[in-house]
Amino acid sequence: MGVARRITAPGRVNLIGDHTDYNLGVALPVAIDLGTTIEFTDNDSDHLTFFSTLYPQGIDLPRGLDLDMDILKNLEPPWARLVGAMIATVRPEHGGIGRIETTIPVGAGLSSSAALMVALADILGAEGSPRTIATLVQQAETFSGVPVGIMDPLVCAGGLAGHGLLIDFATLAIEYVPIPESAELVVVDTGVRRSLRFTEYASRVAECEAAAVTIGPLGQAEDADVAGLRDPSLRRRAHHVVTECARVRQVAAALAVQDLPTVGSLLVESHRSLATDFEVSTPELDELVTTLCAIDGVYGARLTGAGFGGCVVAVTRPGAVDLDRFPAGAWRLVPSDGTVAASAGSVSGAPGGNPEAAAVAG
């Protein structure tokens, strides 16, 4: 009791495969070297208090908080909903005080929420494989009022340095795909944050569910099934998911032979599909993709994450993009390990790595 512990969970960038996770399809995300760190000291109280460097007001929540959506989604300030949902899910044995800091831009589509939740799950005492932790986090986020898929926490918990994760959401099997050293991952922020984001996200989830009633999970459907959908809007949504899953597999194959031009053109096709068939792009995202693709040494670019604002990811030759050109934020990101425990005082020090991932990857 009373000993400080620190945990860092990374954000993620999705290289390709958006809006496929809740459709039981496939995606190829990467854990990144931006992350959220919590330092936590437990005590004998019945309360958990958290402070964040991002928000002036700390939060104080009872240890026995109920896993009740009506209570959780009305907590204030809004980030207390996530923390409360995780407390109610894990049911920690002790109270305590935590300090949170992050290098992930919040709300930019780089999984700031999942990184916070994965780090919280660990600090509050949840144990298990990346799949177990990701399932807990997905459940908690859903109770906080946002019906997200499982991709983000699975990557934050299960990432592996130097690799992307080819995830099959029907089985939650992960294949670790080496990212060639000749490929640089650049992420550029539009700076646009849409408050409607989750309403629109939820409406895409509902549309996909409606299509699945007729043709089954979209991630396992084929072109011929899609043609059988009568509603033109649902047909477009399903067409995106089916073609996106095919592109994910093609990108994994192209990465294996270091064929970066093919990876790049698949990224551009993915963006087009998200913009026209799935309708989750914005003029700012489209413009950034066009700007990036016009730069010598950029193989391709696409919006990444849910859409409706946030970031674009590009695969480039090393050093091709001048990050200073992008005032809302731009990063060269290094494929990184999942949740990393470090002793207090050495957050950025020797990473513990991800033994489960390392075993799978050999």
**Residues recognised as catalytic:** 152
CA distance 93 to 99: 19
Q: Is 245 helix (H, G, I), strand (E, B) or coil?
A: helix
Residue 21 as a binder of ligand GLA (CB under 6 A): the answer is: yes
Q: For residue 163, which of 174, 147, 151 has the smallest C-alpha distance? A: 174
Helices marked H in 73-222: 79-90, 112-123, 130-143, 151-158, 197-215
Tokens encoding 196: 């409607």
Distance of closest approach, residue 181 Cβ to ligand GLA, in angstroms: 26
Which one of 18-26, 43-51, 175-183, 241-249 is the stretch in contact with ligand GLA (CB under 6 A)? 18-26
Closest CB to ligand GLA belongs to which residue? Answer: 149
Distance of closest approach, residue 39 Cβ to ligand GLA, in angstroms: 26
Strand partners, 96: 42, 48
Candidate residues 123, 166, 192, 306; the one interacting with ligand GLA per rule CB under 6 A: 306
Q: For residue 29, which of 203, 150, 198 has the smallest C-alpha distance? A: 150
Q: Is 8 helix (H, G, I), strand (E, B) or coil?
A: strand
Distance of closest approach, residue 247 Cβ to ligand GLA, in angstroms: 13
Closer to ligand GLA by Cβ: residue 202 or 361: 202
CA distance 290 to 288: 5
Residue 152 as a binder of ligand GLA (CB under 6 A): the answer is: yes
CA distance 10 to 351: 12
Residue 244 as a binder of ligand GLA (CB under 6 A): the answer is: no
Closer to ligand GLA by Cβ: residue 21 or 337: 21
Candidate residues 11, 92, 130, 305; the one interacting with ligand GLA per rule CB under 6 A: 305
Which one of 14-22, 91-99, 129-137, 235-243 is the stretch in contact with ligand GLA (CB under 6 A)? 14-22
Among positive and negative, which fits the CA dihedral 51, 52, 53, 56? negative
Candidate residues 148, 165, 218, 254; the one interacting with ligand GLA per rule CB under 6 A: 148
Candidate residues 6, 7, 11, 19; the one interacting with ligand GLA per rule CB under 6 A: 19
Q: For residue 164, which of 185, 183, 180, 179 has the smallest C-alpha distance? A: 179
Distance of closest approach, residue 75 Cβ to ligand GLA, in angstroms: 20
Residue with tokens 């204030």: 76
Instruction: Build a one-symbol-per-residue string for 23-52: x at contacts with ligand GLA by CB under 6 A, - elsewhere.
Output: ------------------------------
Residues found near ligand GLA in the complex (CB under 6 A): 14, 18-19, 21-22, 148-149, 151-152, 305-306
